[in-house]
Amino acid sequence: MSVLPAEIFIDDDGKVKISKVCGQHGFYIDTYTFSDPELYEWAQKYSHAGKPIDNPRTEIKDGCPYDCGICPNHKSHTVLAIIDVTNRCNLECPICFANAATAGYVYEPLKNDIEKMIKNLRSNIPIPPPALQLSGGEPTVRGDLPELVRMAKDQGFRHVEVNTNGVRLANDLSYFKNLIKAGMDTVYLQFDGLDDNIYKITRGVPLYDVKMRVIENAREIGFESIVLVVTLVRGVNDHQIGGIVKFALENSDVIRCVNVQPVSITGRIDSKEREVMRINTTDFMKLVEEQTSRLVKVEDFFPVPSVIPISEAVGRLRSKGYVMFSTSPWCGVATFMVKTRSGEWVPITKLANVDKFFHTMEGVCHDVEGGHRIVARLRMLTALRHVKARFIKEVLWPVLKTGSYEALGRFMRRVVMVGCMHFMDPYNFDLERLERCVIHYGLPDGTIRPFCSVNTLHRLKVERAFSKPYDEWKKTIQR
């Protein structure tokens, strides 16, 4: 593995590309996550500096990404923590990057080891991560998963979600209930489309009925927080993005979010084949606009770090630190769909001038910095002139007034978020993006590493050090 100089440029076809030259493997060129030059420049306007943690776990010796752990060079703190509790799975998906059958070994940390990872993540200074995702593999193959959820809540994680294909939650209602009783806040449900032809390609088996049963089970037991997680593959399910968004709105009593993740490309594959497969954030935004008949338009989306002025303003006024979504502006986008009293779904941009609201919040931060707290509070009130009165009263004001996690939760239950997070692979890897990642894995070697570095560079080495060969593990369970 070598760190190479890279160039981001606009090619003759008017697309944003990233290129690099390797002395061993030759010239590489790939489409960047924002392929539209105008959208690339637009996203850059929302860049905000993050706040690193005060207690990095590794030192700077060899440079990024070799020192990953996280080192003092990392420019953001952890917002969402992830722990893979197993790499076993009850499916064998063709597009999966983490399962025991493919890897040839079983990685499944003991409960005590997971507790150490949880405590390590929560010891981040000055702002411990508030949210944890238990992932895999398929975490529900562990019978003790409810215990792990409870452990995470007991150690201070306010939000715990389970990343799942839904098979067990569809077929075992008591297990679903046990997870909720333990404190599970969200089901992060793999959801690639609205018909079985898609699942046969992406997952190897028909799963549409399984997804529907998870949603119906959630409805039956009063669980209101499912995120539909779409692995977006060109030519496979890119024609259904609009339908999935509409499906989420129609089932908003239990669905909180649609999170689209363009497929990461691994293995040796030439540039022409990659270009056929590659789909990116720009594509996602335009597909949503086309397939929802402009219910959601490109201009309704905002880059992830655009929300930082709100958390900074509320935090400084309350003299309290809040997590900052200080990713690279090209990592992802999102918007909120809000249901009006008449039952109509509208993007938040129809209820507020979002850019002017953000700009005023930046002014609040400057006022507090200058010691003018009263002026800052007055300025925060003036920010509300950019928001329609109904939306202020019913949804926004409780969040701004208290800044509490509970108020944010009530806000989220009134809306459906639609977003896209474009994770990197070896061909479009960008260290500037990596250094600002806010989604971090807790690992059994005591390190905390960014999502894209784990899945592109570090997973194999770390997991093999804490695993058993697959065949050996199979023999132990057959005895």
Residue by residue, DSSP assigns 215-272 as HHHHHHHT---EEEEEEE-TTTTGGGHHHHHHHHHHTTTTEEEEEEEEPP--SS--HH
Residue with tokens 């776990």, as numbered in its chain: 57
Residue-wise pLDDT tens digits, 23-38: 887 888 899 999 999 9
Q: Identify the pLDDT of residue 479.
A: 42
33 and 331 in contact (C-beta within 8 Å)?
yes
Q: Identify the pLDDT of residue 239.
A: 97
**For residue 128, is the peptide bond before it cis, meaning its omega torsion is within 30 degrees of 0?**
no
**pLDDT tens string for the chain (479 positions)?**
678 899 999 999 999 999 998 888 788 889 999 999 999 999 999 999 999 999 999 999 999 999 999 999 999 999 999 999 999 998 888 777 556 667 788 999 999 999 999 999 999 999 999 999 999 999 999 999 999 999 999 999 999 999 999 999 999 999 999 999 999 999 999 999 999 999 999 999 999 999 999 999 999 999 999 999 999 999 999 999 999 999 999 999 999 999 999 988 876 666 777 888 889 999 999 999 999 999 999 999 999 999 998 888 888 887 788 899 999 999 999 999 998 878 899 999 999 899 998 898 888 888 777 777 888 888 877 887 888 876 766 666 666 666 666 766 666 677 899 999 999 998 899 999 999 999 999 999 999 999 999 999 998 899 999 998 888 887 776 54
CA 105 to mean position of chain CA atoms: 27
Q: Identify the pLDDT of residue 301.
A: 98
pTM comes to 0.93
Per-domain residue ranges of the chain: 6-352+387-478
Residue-wise pLDDT tens digits, 39-81: 999 999 999 999 999 999 999 999 999 999 999 999 999 999 9
Q: Identify the pLDDT of residue 384.
A: 78
Q: Exposed/middle/buried for 16, CB within 10 Å: 0-12, 13-18, 19+? A: buried
Pick from 447, 404, 439: nearest CA to 422 = 439
440 and 459 in contact (C-beta within 8 Å)?
no
Cα–Cα distance, 393 to 408 (Å, whole number): 14
CB atoms within 10 A of CB 25: 12
Cα–Cα distance, 127 to 52 (Å, whole number): 9
- What percentage of residues in the chain have a pLDDT greater than 90? 67
Q: Identify the pLDDT of residue 247.
A: 98
Q: Identify the pLDDT of residue 268.
A: 63
Q: Identify the pLDDT of residue 426.
A: 86
Q: What CATH fold (topology level) applies to the domain 6-352+387-478?
A: TIM Barrel (3.20.20)
Residue with tokens 């019978």, as numbered in its chain: 143
What DSSP state is assigned to residue 44?
Answer: H
CA 399 to mean position of chain CA atoms: 22
Amino acid, res. 139: P
Assign 3-class secondary structure to 134-169: EECCCHHHCCCHHHHHHHHHHCCCCEEEEEECCHHH
- φ, ψ dihedrals at 328, nearest 5°: -60, 145
Cα–Cα distance, 130 to 124 (Å, whole number): 11
91 and 98 in contact (C-beta within 8 Å)?
no
180 and 223 in contact (C-beta within 8 Å)?
yes
- Extract the tokens encoding 104: 């040839």
Residue with tokens 């309290």, as numbered in its chain: 320
- Extract the tokens encoding 27: 């010239």
Q: How many residues does the chain have?
A: 479
